[in-house]
Structure 1
Amino acid sequence: MPGFFLVFFALLLLTTTTTTAYQAKLVSSLLKTKQTTVDKLATVAPDSSELTRLRFALAFPSQAEATRALKATIAWRAGPGKSIVEAASKAVVEATRNPGEWDNEPVRLAAPHAKTINQFITPKNILTLSTDDGDLVYIIRASAINDNQLMRKVSVKQLSEFFAYVKEVHSIVANARSERTGRLCEVIFANDISGIRLPPNSKFSEALTSSSKQYEQLYPSLAGPTMILNLPLILQAFIALFKPLFPKTVQDRLLFERAPFLASQKELTPLTTTPKSRDRFLAEVKKLLR
């Protein structure tokens, strides 16, 4: 097995997060099981929404751990992450200025270091769609990102800030939908491996790993399943060997699947510009998650 495939496979697993398995979850039912913890967390963060506190209560096994995590998140949002949080909030307001519509351009332009990063990260290689249930589907086609050129122009810290901004936007949207529908909405990851020939840039991988850790620390219970799609045939035989090396919580969330329609797309843009293409892809995702 080529060494670079081993490296890339390991990096893919490093970018996964550990949350509960994908399923329809009613906020009201979840609150019944976690109400005591949710109420106690209000003493730590009285300005936080009940939904935010519920996500922390669900993600951590004890009151003490949930409290520590929430305190750390509050500190980040008021300190190092303040500009990211504020930029995302303003961008979402602009994106939803017309009721029932979403204009992604204000969101792209307001991202940290957008002038540089948006030259490399575009709707051709990374985008977000919505399912009928209100979940977000975050699609990444790594082979379409010139990560070597990108990392010559930005630092790991700058790219990590960009990805943190994406998470904050996702969090705002998912929480708003959860409030509106009564269903705990999540972000489903679709990592399309089509076209991968070389291992990713090490600094790019470092930023992705940092991004994964941020999900667990700052946005608990937001990440849904992680789908590794269109894995090269040479790697598929090794899945059974690698999967047991990871915690059960990670194993439960990893899905290795073929997504023929997604693989047939030369770039991801049609998934947002062509309703028929979007619907076919979302139907493919729905089938894979059954």
Structure 2
Amino acid sequence: MSGSPTVRRWQLAHELRRLRGDRRLSEVARSIEVAASTVGRWESTEMLPRQRDLRSLLVEYGVSEVEQQRLLELRRDAGRRGWWQRFRLNQSYSTYIGLESEASEIVSYQSQLVPGLFQTPEYMREIFQAARQVKTPEEIEELVQVRMERQQIWKREDAPKFWALLDEAVIQRHVGGQATMCRQLFHLLDVAQNPKIEIQVVPFEAGAHIAMQGGPFVLLRFSEPEFNVVYLEGRTSSLYLDDNTDVANYRVMLDHLRALALSPENSLRLIRRVADGFSRP
């Protein structure tokens, strides 16, 4: 089956929630002699079930032998290591990279920063230094290396579709000085030539909008099986939402933002004007 172990873990958790249906966690847990909290952790991606526990659970659910083999294989793939796990990353960031690596579509709203998949190395170094969450140059270079590795996704034939909604502050803010921002914005113009990438800017003149009281967020869509995850990144913690109601709310926000944003063509014109301004002494 292969693929991202993070996505396999997420898929397995979805399957287990679906199979349990309306049964109580305590009822299911009692039948296979584990704690109810353990079953809950299996369903929330916090913990992978052991193979024998998973088989017992599937038997309890009356799953066919063929379907059992598929889900047991899914569990084996979920236990493998992704390339990002050789780095010293926190669990939340590792989870995001694992999901990103297999998403079929990524929709991102950014209020302050260029999306990581479009950043230049010098822009990355500036924001990592400014965040003051890493202590040494070596740690910063490791984070840059991870982000550059993530950008290899654009060399794949099955690269995701990416729709980026950027507040105008993203392109106007002086990150690292004029030369750094000039190169970063011209890099944005370059990546926008990829037919799978669409960039729109929400201009200052749009005024107050639906996402102003929240922060940046990313909607990741997966096709096989079909499910969606919203990622909310904070300074000290991050949140993943996959409840259908939560996902629908963020889709509404994206629809509102897209209606306010400049067209892709006019967005690129604005980015070029700002980049040209940064290029002048």
Per the shorter chain, which TM-score range?
A: 0.3 to 0.5
When Rg is computed on C-alpha atoms for both structures, the one with the higher figure is 2
**TM-score, length of structure 2 as denominator length:** 0.36
TM-score (norm 1): 0.35
